[in-house]
Amino acid sequence: MNLSVIILAAGQGTRMRSALPKVLHPLGGKPLLAHVIDTAGALGAGAVYVVYGHGGEQVRDALPEAQVTWVEQADQLGTGHAVDQVMPLLGDEQIALVLYGDVPLITGATLAPMIEQAGEGALSVLTAKLDDPTGYGRIIRSANGHVVDIVEQKDAGDEQLRIREINTGFLAVPAKLLRGWLTRLDNRNAQGEYYLTDIIAMAVDDGVPVKSVQAQDTDEVLGVNDRVQLAHLERVCQRRRAEALMRAGVTLADPARLDVRGDVQAGIDSFIDVNAVFEGEVVLGEGVRIGPNCVIRNATLGDGVEVFANSVIDSARIGNACRIGPFARIRPDTELAERVHIGNFVEVKKSRIAAGSKVNHLSYIGDTHMGAKVNVGAGTITCNYDGANKHLTEIGDDVFIGSDTQLVAPVKVGDGATIGAGTTVTRDVPAGKLTLSRTQQKTIGGWSRPVKKPG
């Protein structure tokens, strides 16, 4: 089937009270419009067209990699006018599916039956039944249950306003039929706009079958007009993602206190405590434990990794059975081999640490290649930045580094070396030997601590 998707994204979104275009507000870590584009792509559409408003270059610039054709609607004259901007680009043999950039949770499973109906020559509309249909156009059906019209809220009479079945705005139709109906639209209505929904009555008059699909999950068809509605859909989105993780074999301490702002793949028997935030692409192995208040971003964690409370892992690879935190920060381009321990208040940046090494307390390891079975004492730092350039520290296997050591890069520490506590290393350290740079301890007699003068 030759499917083309038209996404309407030209609305100003004044009720958002924001300088950011409405369709760029984030939901689950990506713009509202990006969700709809992804859904369109998953349907196998031959082309995806996004209709954006005057001055909406910000929308285009925000999604530079989107596989879409951008179509400007210079004047916002209604949904019918917006769709008409795309028609010169569509062939008569195509099926047109109309989606909305501010309705992000629509699924391909709901849209598929509509596309199938349109492929059989019908006009297919998506409806839903709401307890409170205020603000939506109402579905008007004949005595035998067929859709015969859609009446917008502001044009509806009292009896029509009591109808709970609403028009979601989504429709699928052969492009040849749509083209003809759009030329017949007028703006004689309360809004003074060209309503796309007016084509329903035209289809009935022309004897074209009007079929409907009813959304089973009403959250799929809810749009975003203000930040309250955005917050509601954010919770819906997070609930869906939490349920997917639990079905995959992950235990969540509280599904309501989880934020997935990207995509998480997790192995069985993993555990995620409260207030964990996942951003970007995250992969968790089997038996991973994530403590409370952790942030994991664009990272891969191997089997059996334990991340203790209040830790941050960003753009890093963590090997099997590592232990991280609490209050640890793993920065980009870090790779930890298996069984590495990174303890409380430790920061690691752009470093490789081999198997079994430990940096357990109050240390900074940056631009470092560290060997296996190294023990780094508390308060140790690699001085990797000279004010202009970053330099590498290389530490061999089985090295013991005493507390409060400074390694002034570039410097190399040989295998099996021991560095005494309080040492400042400015030259390469030979393998298998003790290196230290302490001054001799002295006690000075007859000295008195200064005392403040009275008053």
In a domain, 244, yes or no: no
**What phi and psi, each to the nearest 5 degrees, are found at residue 359?**
-130, 90
In a domain? residue 70 = yes
Distance CA 446, CA 343 (A): 43
**Same domain as 257, residue 194:** no
Secondary structure of residue 92 in the 3-state scheme: coil
Domain that holds residue 360: 250-435
Spatial contact of 6 and 51, defined as CB atoms under 8 Å apart: yes
Alpha carbons 352 and 394: distance in angstroms, whole number: 10
| Residue 338 · residue 321 · CB < 8 Å | yes
Give domain status of residue 204, yes or no. Answer: yes
> In this structure, are 188 and 297 located in the same domain?
no
Angle among Cα 58, 59, 61 to the nearest 5 degrees reads 65
Is 353 within the bounds of a domain? Answer: yes
- What is the C-alpha separation between 299 and 264, in angstroms, rounded? 10
Token reading at 338: 């298996």
Handedness of CA 27, 30, 36, 39 (dihedral sign): negative
Domain count, the chain: 2
In a domain, 265, yes or no: yes
3 state SS of 77: coil
Residue 191 has a pLDDT of 83
Same-domain check for residues 166 and 270: no
In whole angstroms, what is the distance from residue 293 CA to residue 240 CA? 20
Q: Which helix (H) or strand (E) holds 116?
A: helix 108-119
Residue 237 region by backbone torsions, left for phi larger than 0, else alpha for psi between -120 and 50, else beta: alpha
79 CB-near residues (< 8 Å, 6+ apart): 8, 169, 193, 194, 195, 196, 197
Identified catalytic residue from 146, 361, 369, 391: 361
**Cβ atoms of residues 417 and 436 within 8 Å:** no
Residues 54, 72 contacting (CB under 8 angstroms):
yes
Residues 257, 212 share a domain: no
Separation of first and last alpha carbons in the chain: 93
Nearest to 138 by CA among 419, 127, 261, 234: 127
In angstroms, the CA 263 to CA 261 distance is: 7
Question: Would you give per-residue pLDDT tens digits along the chain (455 residues)?
Answer: 699 999 999 987 889 999 899 999 999 999 999 999 999 999 999 999 999 986 678 999 999 999 999 999 988 899 999 999 999 999 999 999 999 999 999 999 999 999 999 999 999 999 999 999 988 889 999 988 889 888 888 888 988 999 999 999 999 999 999 999 999 999 988 888 898 989 998 999 999 999 999 999 999 999 999 999 999 999 999 999 999 999 999 999 999 999 999 999 999 999 999 999 999 999 999 999 999 999 999 999 999 999 999 999 999 999 999 999 999 999 999 999 999 999 999 999 999 999 999 999 999 999 999 999 999 999 999 999 999 999 999 999 999 999 999 999 999 999 999 999 999 999 999 999 999 998 888 889 998 888 888 87
Query: For residue 185, what is the domain's CATH number?
Result: 3.90.550.10
Calpha distance 408→423 (Å, rounded): 11
Two structure tokens written together for 379: 């308060």
Same-domain pairing of 274 and 393: yes
CATH number at residue 423: 2.160.10.10
81 is catalytic: no
DSSP 430: P
Residue 278: per-residue pLDDT: 98
Angle formed at CA 196 by CA 194 and CA 202, multiple of 5 degrees: 100
Pick from 125, 105, 100, 103: which is nearest to 114 by CA?
Answer: 125
Q: Are residues 184 and 295 in the same domain?
A: no
Q: pLDDT value at position 55?
A: 66
Let me know if residue 294 belongs to a domain: yes
Mark whether 291 and 354 lie in a shared domain. Answer: yes
The pLDDT of residue 154 is 86
What are the start-end ranges of the H helices in 21-78?
Answer: 32-42, 57-62
Q: Tell me if 316 is assigned to some domain.
A: yes
The reply to whether 195 and 337 lie within a common domain is no
- 321 sits in which H/E element: none
Residue 280 lies in a domain: yes
Q: Which residue has the tokens 């013991």?
A: 400
Within a 10 A sphere around the Cβ of 453, how many other Cβ atoms?
A: 5
Cα–Cα distance between 62 and 49 in angstroms, integer?
A: 16
Same domain, 342 and 257: yes
CA distance 363 to 402: 12
Look at residue 54 in the predicted model and tell me its pLDDT: 66
Dihedral angle over CA of 345, 350, 355, 356, nearest 10: -20
Tell whether 255 and 385 lie within a shared domain.
yes
- pTM (whole model) above 0.75: yes
Q: Which residue has the tokens 């391909």?
A: 108
Among 171, 201, 221, where does a domain finish? 221
254 and 377 in a single domain? The answer is yes
Do 181 and 318 belong to one domain? Answer: no
- What whole-number distance in Å separates Cα of residue 148 and Cα of residue 361? 72
- At residue 160's C-alpha, the angle toward residues 159 and 163, to 5°, is 105
